[in-house]
Amino acid sequence: MALHQASGRWKLGLALALATAGFWSTLPVALKITLEQLDPYTLTWFRFLVAFVLMFAWLAARGGLAPLRGLTHRHRALLAVAALGLIGNYVFYLLGVQHTSPGNAQLLIQLAPLLMALGGIFVFRERFATGQWLGLAVIVGGLALFFADQLGHDTLPAGRYVWGSTLVIAAAVVWAVYALAQKQLLLRLSSPLILLVIYAAASLLLWPLARPTALLQLDALHWGLLVYCALNTLGAYGCFAEALAHWEASRVSAILATTPLLCIGVVFLVHALWPTLIRPEAISWLGFAGAGLVVLGSTLTSLLGQRKAA
């Protein structure tokens, strides 16, 4: 079977990968500030609704809705699993950001692609290369160091930090479930079409929990950040998909592994420019060492060996 080959325009691929990392590193900060005036469910509902409207318009204009006809019960069941997984990811992650710091949330969510890879071993009978197991061990060690460092600070109560971290880990777990379901669905549907169905389901399921009238009470700053949060996912995944078209997946993943450190940098920058908007990350040398190990482990997992089918 023919395999996808990158276009070779590596400079464009690098720029798009950096843009993706920029979207993902700024999102937790925007979410954290928006949560000052908006509850998590309304924020998540609005993000899904905007994504659905824009994705529907784009696919309808391209005539891309036809494959939805004639889906089997198995495909519908997989779509339901994927939808619940991504909805859970958005909600758990946002609740986690509410109870912990943006940098910590972005670091812990790095578990998501690793859990997907481990799930692939059991679901699709894939294998980890030796280098990837090494990368996984480095990530676990880095997370342990970072977790120990954060518990040693008094900026957040220990119980609140642990609860927030647990919610982000739950977000990573359900994202892996979504990703594995989507991988199987890709045999029948395109990725944009799968996301369209998920966005529609999420908009309907979260509607009873949302308070649309709360949007009328937002000031200009929080409205701007809310719109950015809503457009962020479409921008990030659009740049990510295009980056893969022009550059090798392992190199794109290596760039994206730096996202947690970029997020910590964004928090420090925003606090320096607008001290009242967000509190700075409380990280000692031990925490930075742990974050660095997570980035290193993610890079090793991306670059050292490809997963092979059993």
Looking at residue 174, what is its pLDDT? Answer: 95
DSSP conformation letters of 89-104: HHHHHHHHHHHS-HHH
> In the predicted model, what is the mean pLDDT of residues 186-193?
81
Q: Which residue has the higher pLDDT, 208 or 281?
A: 208
> In the predicted model, what is the mean pLDDT of residues 142-149?
85
Q: Residue 126's CB: how many other CB atoms inside 10 A?
A: 16
Question: Which residue in 87, 96, 97 sits closest to 206, CA to CA?
Answer: 87
Give the model confidence (pLDDT) of 44-78 as tens digits.
999 999 999 999 998 888 877 777 777 788 888 98
Q: Is residue 3 part of a domain?
A: no
DSSP conformation letters of 204-246: HHHGGG--GGGGGG--HHHHHHHHHHHHHHHHHHHHHHHHHHH
pLDDT at 247 > cutoff 50: yes
User: What residue numbers bound the domain in which 235 lies?
Assistant: 10-309
Looking at residue 155, what is its pLDDT? Answer: 59
For strand 308-309 and strand 126-127, is the pairing parallel, antiparallel, or unpaired? antiparallel
Least confident of 71-75, 119-123, 191-195: 119-123
> In the predicted model, what is the mean pLDDT of residues 12-27?
89
pLDDT at 232 > cutoff 60: yes
- Would you place residue 207 in the very low, low, confident or very high pLDDT band (cuts 50, 70, 90)? very high
Query: Is there a contact between 139 and 295 (Cβ–Cβ < 8 Å)?
Result: no
Burial class (CB in 10 A: 0-12, 13-18, 19+), 89: buried
The β-bridge partners of 127 are 308
Count of domains forming the chain: 1
Q: Is residue 163 part of a domain?
A: yes
Query: Is there a contact between 93 and 104 (Cβ–Cβ < 8 Å)?
Result: no
pLDDT at 310 > cutoff 60: no
Question: Which residue in 93, 46, 96, 28 sits closest to 209, CA to CA?
Answer: 46
- Would you place residue 142 in the very low, low, confident or very high pLDDT band (cuts 50, 70, 90)? confident
Query: Is there a contact between 279 and 271 (Cβ–Cβ < 8 Å)?
Result: yes
Question: Which residue in 175, 168, 136 sits closest to 298, CA to CA?
Answer: 136
> In the predicted model, what is the mean pLDDT of residues 135-163?
78
- Quote the mean pLDDT of the chain: 84
Q: Is residue 285 part of a domain?
A: yes
Q: Is residue 1 part of a domain?
A: no
Q: Is residue 4 part of a domain?
A: no
Whole-model pTM over 0.85: no
> In the predicted model, what is the mean pLDDT of residues 96-108?
88
pLDDT at 87 > cutoff 90: yes
Query: Is there a contact between 161 and 105 (Cβ–Cβ < 8 Å)?
Result: no
Q: Is residue 2 part of a domain?
A: no
Q: Is residue 215 part of a domain?
A: yes
Q: Is residue 5 part of a domain?
A: no
What is the rounded distance in angstroms from the CA atom of residue 151 to the CA atom of residue 157?
Answer: 8
What is the rounded distance in angstroms from the CA atom of residue 17 to the CA atom of residue 15?
Answer: 5
The β-bridge partners of 308 are 127
Backbone φ, ψ for residue 75 (5° rounding): -65, -40
